Amino acid sequence: MKTTLKLVVIGVLVAFCSNVSAQNIKLAHINMQELIVAMPEYETAMADLQKFGQVLQDELELLQVEYRRKLDDYVTNREKLTELVRNSREDELQMMTQRIGMFQQQAQETFELEQHKLMQPVFEKANKAVEAVAMAQGITYVISGEPQILIFKAVGTTDLLPLVKQHLGIK
């Protein structure tokens, strides 16, 4: 009984405080993904990232071509090789397989680091623009407006996307 009474009192207090403080709150929403994709810096970063990824892909393909060449040679000549040479080539092929796997893992990690390095300034610029526009508009809170995240959007809430695009000079 005491617990139920405490919960009711807490509920009434929360509702009362929410009602009083809600009068001073101005909400807005923005689809940050749409904003970032519209920024010219995003296109530049993605082009640079694609070039970087292509360099890694080209290197991986060279390793794979070398592996296939050695594997084909081994398969073709296996019966003619001595046991020592055959074991040596098998070990070499196994080490090459491991090297290719390690390269793929390191390339993925390097690619992700490069992606972060290239995109971080874009995210920062977008966040600063949202902050500047929100402050200029007297917005108290800006929530994510991505369709998969936004649960409810009341009529009359401010969509900052057009204002932030204008602030950044994006059409």
Q: What is the pTM for the complete model shown?
A: 0.72
CATH of 21-168, one of 3.40.50.880, 3.30.910.20, 3.40.50.9100, 2.60.40.10: 3.30.910.20
SS3 120: helix
pLDDT for the residue 26? 84
Residue 157's pLDDT is what?
Answer: 73
CA pseudo-torsion sign 156, 159, 164, 169:
negative
pLDDT, tens digit, for every residue of 71-116?
Answer: 999 999 999 999 999 999 999 999 999 999 999 999 999 999 999 9
Per-residue confidence (pLDDT) for residue 22, from 0 to 100? 52
Pull the structure tokens for residue 146.
């991505």
Q: Average the pLDDT over 116-124 and give the result.
A: 97
Cβ neighbours of residue 25 under 8 Å, at least 6 residues apart?
140, 141
Digit-coded pLDDT (tens) for 122-133: 999 999 999 999
Is 13 a residue whose pLDDT tops 50?
Answer: no
